[in-house]
Amino acid sequence: MRDGRIHEIRGREDHLKGITCPRGKASPDIVHSPQRLLHPLKRSGPKPGLNFTEISWDQALDEIAARILKLKGEHGPECIATFQGRGSFFEHGMAQMFRPPKRGGGATFTLFMPLGSPNAFSVGTLCFVSYGLLAPLTIFGRAMRTIQPDIENSDVIFIWGANPATDSPPIDMRRLKKAKGRGARIVVIDPLKTAPAAMADMWIPIRPGTDGALIHALARLCMEEGRVDRDFVSEFTLGYDQYRDYVQRFTPEKASAITWVEEGKIRELADILTSSSKVSVLTYTGLEYSNAGVQSIRALLNLWAITGHLDVEGGMRLLDFKPIPLNRPSITPPDHPKPIGYDRHPFFCDITMAGHFMEFPRSVLDGDPYRIRFLLIGGASILTGFPDKALFERSLAALDGLVVVDRFMTADALYADYVLPATTYYENLSYVQYPEVIPAPSHIQLRQRVVEPVGEARSDYIICAQLAERLGYGELFPQTEEEMVRYVIKDLPLTFEDLAKADGPVRVGPGPLAGEERKWEKGKLRRDGKPGFNTPSGKWEIASSLLKKYGHEPLPVYVDIQEGPENGELFVRFPLVFTSGARIQSTFRSQHLNIPRLVRMQPCAQAHIHPRDAAPRGILDGDSVRIVSPRGRVTMRARVTDGIIPGVVEVNMGGGSPVQVEGWRDANVNLVTDHGNRDSISGFPVFKALLCQVEKIQ
């Protein structure tokens, strides 16, 4: 099982990026960082603050369980909540064991559901759900992982609002380089000249948040000139005629004014898009964080479909998945009451079976519609990730109980009553599954412990299982890591011993298959075997029935930017377009900013600004600058570069945790972002299309 490809799959683990760990000898910097949390801690000083006393695990878990049961008794189970971040749900055993039976992906966390609480929150409130679920479900009835660019066979690859060079690990970057090597053309649409843009045949800098307008203009050009897949649009789409009428307003001239992309370039893009059937597109977070996030992603998928690139070689293939049959407890979310956020974002809550954390402050601070009083945060950094840090600080401070489970002190821990030390993956016994790496088959692998847990740290799974036991339902969760793995794999045709003996990935299924082309024509996409798609109408829903049902605009319309150059008065005071959070190689959101060898790669948080905008402000590369928005300010270093579209400032995200080095610790980008400004469909905050001013600090 140790051929090159499997090796590549193994590299997919976030923290194993580029590291090989001989068992027993590994000492990645993160494991032995002097800042690792080693013991359970109980608050001994005022909030906010980091005064804690070491206590035993028994005391910590007993006291936390007692507090939960007391609050439940006094206020009902719905006042107890969890928040899971990106830190913890790549631990596959943990994710599988605490996932409701009917949900494939996602991070709905069932730990407190047996108590009767529907309030499972996650970082899905502002990551992935918009792109991965809401957009694709409302157009073709399946999740995004089932539609994938056939990079290996494309003549042209568009990279539109993603940067595969900073993925972890950069699998798609390797695929792109190979494609480029065999002569495929690469087109990048991004406000930043990313590494893929630098090697591309064409870089189209675009004004952040306006992609929808460009997509509609391209759709209009293609329709006008008959460059559409006629059979597909006439037989298999819903809302095509309405959409054709709608896009008439997006002349190249109008789209150019909105997007800052030259008219000639728009025409050229339409030509490239229709130059071959073998054109694919890679996209991700670049389109999510604008007022038109979900709709722009829908419009993009739709543009590829109507121009004949759907499920053909070299285009966007529709894939079949056979999930690995893993076991899990059958805990389902309670029907009543609805989770927090349901009143404002019911579509999000129904699809994710979770709460919407943007409404958490209203719940905690105003008791509207009811009050959350206890929160367990696992593997997340809310105060660096959510917009309007001060609002979330007030909310965390107002809780009757806050528990943080992490490897390091976070900004959230300043408000915690208990902080529990979690192990890294190196210290856990668990498993990993690889069902989604294309084109490899499905594999499962035992995650062997490579280092003994440092201090008293325990795995996330064990911490939660032991808490469940104290809450009275420990029988749902095996109480050791080995028993957990045995439980999860019980329906597979292999044993724990087989996995241990294999000492590497074991193949358990065929993995994602592309199969025949244009599967909708052959009844391969619907459970009833009829031609069409897995949507309420059975069509490719340009006009979405689901969105209509939830009171949203069914067509994938462009939504005007709420805070942009169009706001004349505001634009005078804040004349630069603000975007944030383009990923960098050395950091993992708020993580790794305390790991010296990684910090050296970029010791300070940066704001990227074009020389044209820097010069009149007297800003030189490396200067300290203040980024000011209508809501607040934050200080960073200027990176003066022509690798950004003039008029736009890209501001690093991730700064703001107490363990970080000085150049990042106070540089929290979410001091300037806006909690109220959202994509109305997903409720995602608009992180990438706001306004700011940049001032040199003398």
Ligand X SMILES: Nc1nc2c(c(=O)[nH]1)N[C@H]1C(S)=C(S)[C@@H](COP(=O)(O)OP(=O)(O)OC[C@H]3O[C@@H](n4cnc5c(=O)[nH]c(N)nc54)[C@H](O)[C@@H]3O)O[C@H]1N2
Residue 110's binding partner among Mo ion, ligand X, none (Cβ under 5 to 8 angstroms by kind) is none
Instruction: Give me the amino acid identity at 227.
Output: R
Residues in the chain: 698
CA distance 551 to 643: 40
Minimum CB distance to ligand X smaller for 360 or for 687 = 687
Beta strand pairing call for 442-447 and 430-434: antiparallel
Q: At what angle do helices 252-259 and 263-273 cross, to 10 degrees?
A: 110
Q: How far is the CB of 540 from ligand X (least distance, A)?
A: 23
CA angle 683, 546, 220 (to 5 degrees): 85
CA distance 690 to 670: 12
Contact status, residue 459 vs residue 451, Cβ threshold 8 Å = no
In order of 115, 359, 365, 682, the CA distances from 370 in angstroms are 17, 11, 10, 22
Minimum CB distance to Mo ion smaller for 127 or for 525 = 127
Residue 196's binding partner among ligand X, Mo ion, none (Cβ under 5 to 8 angstroms by kind) is none
Q: How far is the CB of 659 from ligand X (least distance, A)?
A: 9
Contact status, residue 281 vs residue 273, Cβ threshold 8 Å = no
Q: How far is the CB of 169 from Mo ion (least distance, A)?
A: 16
Minimum CB distance to ligand X smaller for 298 or for 589 = 589
Minimum CB distance to Mo ion smaller for 87 or for 315 = 87
Q: 86 is written with which tokens?
A: 């990106």
Helix-then-strand count for the chain, H and E: 25, 24
Contact status, residue 266 vs residue 256, Cβ threshold 8 Å = yes
Minimum CB distance to Mo ion smaller for 141 or for 286 = 286
Mention every residue, 6+ apart, whose C-beta is less than 8 A from residue 588: 14, 168
Mention every residue, 6+ apart, whose C-beta is less than 8 A from residue 356: 121, 125, 339, 340, 341, 342, 344, 345, 348, 349, 683
Instruction: Enter the DSSP assignment of 441.
Output: P
In order of 10, 71, 492, 510, the CA distances from 503 in angstroms are 12, 46, 17, 20
Q: At what angle do helices 57-75 and 460-470 cross, to 10 degrees?
A: 50
Q: How far is the CB of 123 from ligand X (least distance, A)?
A: 4
Residues that bind Mo ion (CB under 5 A): 127
Q: How far is the CB of 580 from ligand X (least distance, A)?
A: 4
Q: How far is the CB of 86 from Mo ion (least distance, A)?
A: 6
Starting at the edge strand found earlier in the chain, the sheet holding 156-160 runs: 202-204, 185-189, 156-160, 279-282
Residue 561's binding partner among Mo ion, ligand X, none (Cβ under 5 to 8 angstroms by kind) is none
Q: 219 is written with which tokens?
A: 């759709």
Q: How far is the CB of 686 from Mo ion (least distance, A)?
A: 15
Instruction: Give me the amino acid identity at 334.
Output: P
Residue 590's binding partner among ligand X, Mo ion, none (Cβ under 5 to 8 angstroms by kind) is ligand X
Q: How far is the CB of 459 from ligand X (least distance, A)?
A: 8
Q: How far is the CB of 535 from ligand X (least distance, A)?
A: 26
Minimum CB distance to Mo ion smaller for 109 or for 236 = 109
Residue whose pair of structure tokens reads 């590369």 in the numeric block: 621
Instruction: Enter the DSSP assignment of 467.
Output: H
Minimum CB distance to ligand X smaller for 211 or for 359 = 211
Minimum CB distance to ligand X smaller for 185 or for 458 = 458
Q: How far is the CB of 402 from ligand X (least distance, A)?
A: 14
Q: How far is the CB of 242 from ligand X (least distance, A)?
A: 25
Minimum CB distance to ligand X smaller for 127 or for 340 = 127
Residue 194's binding partner among ligand X, Mo ion, none (Cβ under 5 to 8 angstroms by kind) is ligand X
CA distance 565 to 571: 5
Instruction: Enter the DSSP assignment of 402.
Output: E
Q: How far is the CB of 591 from Mo ion (least distance, A)?
A: 12
Minimum CB distance to ligand X smaller for 305 or for 376 = 376
Query: Which residue of the chain is nearest ligand X when measured via CB?
Result: 581
CA distance 407 to 652: 23
Contact status, residue 255 vs residue 204, Cβ threshold 8 Å = no
Minimum CB distance to Mo ion smaller for 94 or for 508 = 94
CA distance 676 to 689: 13
Minimum CB distance to ligand X smaller for 544 or for 677 = 677
Residue 259's binding partner among Mo ion, ligand X, none (Cβ under 5 to 8 angstroms by kind) is none
Q: How far is the CB of 265 from ligand X (least distance, A)?
A: 13
Residues that bind ligand X (CB under 6 A): 85-88, 91, 123, 126-127, 160-163, 166-168, 189-192, 194, 206, 208-209, 211, 284-287, 290, 378-381, 384-385, 405-408, 410, 422, 460, 579-583, 585, 587-591, 653, 669-670, 673, 687-688
**Beta strand residue intervals within 576-668, DSSP E:** 576-580, 606-609, 624-628, 633-640, 648-651
Contact status, residue 635 vs residue 666, Cβ threshold 8 Å = yes
Q: How far is the CB of 127 from Mo ion (least distance, A)?
A: 3
Beta strand pairing call for 576-580 and 648-651: parallel
Instruction: Enter the DSSP assignment of 374.
Output: E
Residue 587's binding partner among Mo ion, ligand X, none (Cβ under 5 to 8 angstroms by kind) is ligand X
Minimum CB distance to Mo ion smaller for 127 or for 671 = 127
Minimum CB distance to ligand X smaller for 462 or for 525 = 462
Minimum CB distance to Mo ion smaller for 100 or for 385 = 385
Residue 191's binding partner among ligand X, Mo ion, none (Cβ under 5 to 8 angstroms by kind) is ligand X
Mention every residue, 6+ apart, whose C-beta is less than 8 A from residue 153: 278, 313, 314
Residue 445's binding partner among Mo ion, ligand X, none (Cβ under 5 to 8 angstroms by kind) is none
Residue 405's binding partner among ligand X, Mo ion, none (Cβ under 5 to 8 angstroms by kind) is ligand X
Residue 396's binding partner among Mo ion, ligand X, none (Cβ under 5 to 8 angstroms by kind) is none
Q: How far is the CB of 399 from Mo ion (least distance, A)?
A: 24
Closest CA to 585 of 577, 573, 575, 597: 597
Closest CA to 78 of 375, 470, 398: 375
Using CB atoms within 10 Å of the CB of residue 642, give its burial: 0 to 12 exposed, 13 to 18 middle, 19+ buried: exposed
Residue 610's binding partner among ligand X, Mo ion, none (Cβ under 5 to 8 angstroms by kind) is none
Query: Which residue of the chain is nearest Mo ion when measured via CB?
Result: 127
What residue spans of 192-273 are helical by DSSP H?
A: 195-199, 211-224, 230-236, 240-247, 252-259, 263-273
Minimum CB distance to Mo ion smaller for 127 or for 270 = 127
Q: How far is the CB of 520 from ligand X (least distance, A)?
A: 28
Distance of CA 255 to the CA centre of its chain: 28
